[in-house]
Structure 1
Amino acid sequence: MLNIVLANDDGVHAPGINILKETLRSIANVIVVAPMNERSTTGHTLTLDTTVRLEEIADDVYACNGFPADCSLMAIGHLFKNPHSKYYGQKIDLLVSGINRGANLGQDVYYSGTVAAAREAAFHGIPAIAVSSCMDFKNPDKNTLYYYSASNFIKTLVQSNISKAIPQMTLLNINVPWCAEAEILGTKVTRTGLRKYSEDIEERLDFRGRRYYWIGGVYKGFEEFPDSDCQAIEDKMISVAPVKLCDYGRSQMEIIEDLKGFLENIFPR
């Protein structure tokens, strides 16, 4: 069976990663390495100025005090390379980061800890996927069964050998509508879009009269252009966006066309 590492930025106890673990364990060896606490919107941070700790809190489930990219690196550089580890001598076939609580669309991929964990794996030549469930935080429906729409989609991809179809130095950023599987209208290979935010900075005073600030902002929609990840979610379709990390090898358009062919074999129209 494949060795699949799961990471995230919502924390090791988050429902998304645990539902994904439950779903994939029937078809793969699943090892979870995730932050001890929530690390959302931390980008591609690595812990270089203090100690990193790793604790096995259940069989094949590890909590790390670092950031999402640290979690990937601890799996790659420690758990699978340490002669004293039970995984020593094996290889990681796929790293999946998620399932994130909320969308990672448009330029949000550059802030996302979820995407960073996948990107760190891709930097090390490991096929990587970031997957998010697009919960609407303005009108939150907290039905955790909707995570299965994403986890079952990932399971189907794994069973179809997606790990062989992801080019080097490319990750797949997958966003799934926050709804039941039966309500999803299809799957679309997309390009990274552009979301609009008000980017408000709110100034306040503390009890000593000193200024402090909250970075906030309200989501204002997205730029409309063909095949964007934002538009796919608006149309209640699963968005599969290849994110190319280096400018060599196949072009972005070649990768998109190859991926379209791969997905059409699995999900014929």
Structure 2
Amino acid sequence: MKISLITVVYNGESFLEDCIKSVITQDYPDLEYILIDGASTDKSLSIARKYQNQINTIVSEKDKGMYDALNKGIALASGDVIGILNADDMLASTDVISVIARTFSTSKADGVYGDLNYIDPINTAKIIRKWKGKTYSLSGIKRGWMPAHPTLYLKRNLFEKYGNYSLNFGTAADYELMLRFLYKHKIKAVYLEKLIVNMRTGGMSNASLKHRKHAFENDLKAIKENGINLPYITLFLKKIRKIQQFFH
């Protein structure tokens, strides 16, 4: 089973090398690594090219943002399964991809997801909060639960059947895609009880009160435009679950 992993970056020189190293040290042999750079003006591209012999595809051109870049990566991917790794983040151990591949093979799942740690940007040994997954259910989504998107690996044919990331939902494009795949089309998703990603804190949707308002509005838009009958309290519970992560 071939797995394609996509990293998108724009002016991410501070942590990109950590991200790349966590991928190229994976022990899984059939791994395709694709890096999409949004015409960075810092040293991101030169850092990527430093590892060009270990990165299958490097593209550097202007894009319409993170999710447009991800769609470019999906179009280039040749793997049976597609995952993403943000340029600030790291795979948590060298066997992450091999365990994910084994889970796909044994479970016959359409998607596999796991656990995530939010870490301090500088002191990466310091865990800020933990996103502990659980077995997927439609009722869980109604109660505001979702898999941690950076841990979610999906069969490539799902994108062909149900579409890529929509550019109409801002930072909620990942939430919209998961709603579409998991809730609307009811794909078979399996929880892997393993730490998949160490994610540095400071994501776009949590950056400020203004961004949080926009994130809420885009979440609501994602529900409505997919014709999904979820109560508004779902979005409130979604935020509450983030707070609960501090107590794991």
Q: TM-score range by the shorter chain?
A: 0.3 to 0.5
Q: Of the two, which has the highest radius of gyration?
A: 1
Which structure exhibits the higher relative contact order, with contacts defined as CA atoms closer than 8 Å and separated by 6 or more residues?
A: 2
| TM-score, structure 1 normalization | 0.37
Which protein is richer in helix relative to its size? 2
Which protein is richer in strand relative to its size? 1
